[in-house]
Amino acid sequence: MIIGSLELFKLVSAGGCGVAAWALWRNQPDQVMRRSLNDVFIRGDLYYKMRGYRGRELRSYPRVIGVKTYIDRTEAAFKLPVGMDPSRITESAWLFRQVLGSGVELALADDGRTFSMRKYSGVIGAFEYDAESVAAALRNMRLPVYVGKSRTGDVAYDMVDHPHLLIAGETGSGKSVALRSILTSLIRQVGAKLELYCADLKRSEFHVFRGVAREVVTDVSGLERIVLRLQREMRHRGDLMDAEEVAHIDDLPADKRPPYIVLAIDEVALLKREKDVMDGVEEISTIGRALGVFLVLAMQRPDAGVLDGRLKNNLTVRMAFRHSDAINSRITIGSDEAARILDRDKGRMVFKLNGCEYVQGPHLTLAAARTLLNPYKNANAIAKPNVNTSVSDNDIIELEVL
């Protein structure tokens, strides 16, 4: 039969499409991973030997049962044939690294047969806070927050655009170090245009900001006073904006524009029973954005017992350090990614702003923060009230006169 040139063209094009589709499928990350794993099994002679018909040797290799790709890694699961010693896989970890690259982790499930393997596409190691490179990353922002490094570079955002921040994670995961580095960067970048208030109910962290922040308090009554002051200030700013007919303090004339205010609270869970304070904090979260009043709240677990739904919803930016389990991780970021952070990865977080990404926060020691903050000492702070800290309107008026 003679094939016409049109038919030939159609046949070749159909064949071409098939080949292209096959090539596309073959290069999907999960297919690449499946092939690489099978390659490891063959190169490493990782199979279970059986005797078949007439004593012929049969090889049963591990079977790849699933591959998933995430923002920063590929995860695969494979199952060993019954009878195969799992230590042959663990002893061949070097071969997995040789074939798949560094950043490979293997873990055996309780059934003694199923291995899960993670392959990180890049490793973001811990790094020390470097004031110069942080300053370079924060240029041209009004209220800059330095988050850290992702695989694609420095991560930072402007708090004026994304107002309220929630930092969560299990004990020792890096929350307080993150607070220290965020506030230190803010003070150094914004200077006198920032009024910073710190509440440190664990009394372990914020002493480094004494004399630099407007006020540092370590008890509930001190925080209550600050919250009342901020509520008054918000009313005042609202009146000002109303008189000038603007919708954001940034639109006020320069001579009337008040400074940005940041209230940072470490260990918010200790305020669980302080309804008045929490109501005030919630009010800030609801109306603070346009008035230039912002929140940074840190706690281990932002469950409903600590944060009420409305306040939590207003904390739109999230830094989720290691969480103890998937349920807690979902409470913070809506996915279980933060539970997959390893215990040894201090300062590693899932950062949620527009989507989620893994970020490594900078390590800023207390001593280094002290040195960086030294030039700013006593520039912003108001004198501490020298008598009792119980709350009354008189206290507030006195403070404002100071």
Minimum distance of Mg ion from residue 297's CB (angstroms):
12
Q: In the sheet that 260-266 helps form, which strands lie side by side, from edge to edge?
A: 153-158, 144-150, 355-360, 348-353, 317-320, 165-168, 293-299, 260-266, 194-200, 215-217
Buried b (16+ CB within 10 A) or exposed e, 277-315: bbebbbbbbebbbbbbbbbbbbbbbbeeebbeeebbebb
Minimum distance of ligand ATP from residue 322's CB (angstroms):
9
Minimum distance of ligand ATP from residue 297's CB (angstroms):
13
Minimum distance of ligand ATP from residue 158's CB (angstroms):
22
Q: In the sheet that 63-69 helps form, which strands lie side by side, from edge to edge?
A: 63-69, 73-79, 114-120, 104-108
Q: Classify residue 317 by its DSSP letter.
A: E
Q: Which partner in ligand ATP, Mg ion, none is near 177 (CB below 5 to 8 A by kind)?
A: ligand ATP
Stretch that binds ligand ATP, among 110-118, 174-182, 281-289, 332-340 (CB under 6 A): 174-182
- Could you identify the residue written with the tokens 């409903």? 304
Residue numbers 30-59 binding Mg ion by CB under 5 A? none
Q: Which partner in Mg ion, ligand ATP, none is near 169 (CB below 5 to 8 A by kind)?
A: ligand ATP
| Residue 173 in contact with Mg ion, rule: CB under 5 A | no
| Residue 173 in contact with ligand ATP, rule: CB under 6 A | yes
| Residue 361 in contact with ligand ATP, rule: CB under 6 A | yes
| Residue 155 in contact with ligand ATP, rule: CB under 6 A | no
Which of 74, 173, 176, 329 touches Mg ion (CB under 5 A)?
176
Q: Which partner in Mg ion, ligand ATP, none is near 74 (CB below 5 to 8 A by kind)?
A: none
| Residue 312 in contact with ligand ATP, rule: CB under 6 A | no
3-state secondary structure of 210: coil
How far apart (Å, rounded) are the C-alpha atoms in residues 142 and 313?
24
Q: Classify residue 356 by its DSSP letter.
A: E
Residue numbers 234-273 binding ligand ATP by CB under 6 A? none
| Residue 184 in contact with ligand ATP, rule: CB under 6 A | no
Stretch that binds ligand ATP, among 54-62, 175-183, 186-194, 222-230 (CB under 6 A): 175-183
Minimum distance of ligand ATP from residue 42's CB (angstroms):
40
CA 360 to chain centre: 8
Which of 164, 312, 323, 346 touches ligand ATP (CB under 6 A)?
346
Nearer to ligand ATP, 169 or 292 (CB): 169
Which position's Cβ is nearest ligand ATP? 347
The answer to whether the beta carbons of residues 262 and 144 sit under 8 Å apart is no
Q: Taking the CA of residue 378 as centre, how many other CA atoms within 13 Å lie in the half-sphere pointing to its CB?
A: 0
How many residues are there in the chain?
402
Which of 175, 188, 214, 237 touches ligand ATP (CB under 6 A)?
175
How far apart (Å, rounded) are the C-alpha atoms in residues 187 and 380?
10
Sign of CA dihedral 316, 320, 324, 327: positive
| Residue 381 in contact with ligand ATP, rule: CB under 6 A | no
The answer to whether the beta carbons of residues 282 and 274 sit under 8 Å apart is no
| Residue 189 in contact with Mg ion, rule: CB under 5 A | no
Nearer to Mg ion, 176 or 189 (CB): 176
- Residue type, position 281, single letter: V
Token digits of residue 370:
């002290």
| Residue 214 in contact with ligand ATP, rule: CB under 6 A | no
| Residue 302 in contact with ligand ATP, rule: CB under 6 A | no
Nearer to Mg ion, 74 or 184 (CB): 184
| Residue 300 in contact with Mg ion, rule: CB under 5 A | no
Full DSSP string of 322-345: --SSHHHHHHHHSSGGGGGS-TT-
How far apart (Å, rounded) are the C-alpha atoms in residues 312 and 86?
45
Q: Which partner in Mg ion, ligand ATP, none is near 172 (CB below 5 to 8 A by kind)?
A: ligand ATP
How far apart (Å, rounded) are the C-alpha atoms in residues 127 and 148?
9
Query: By the criterion CB under 6 A, which residues form the site for ligand ATP?
Result: 126, 169, 171-177, 300, 346-347, 361-363
Query: By the criterion CB under 5 A, which residues form the site for Mg ion?
Result: 175-176
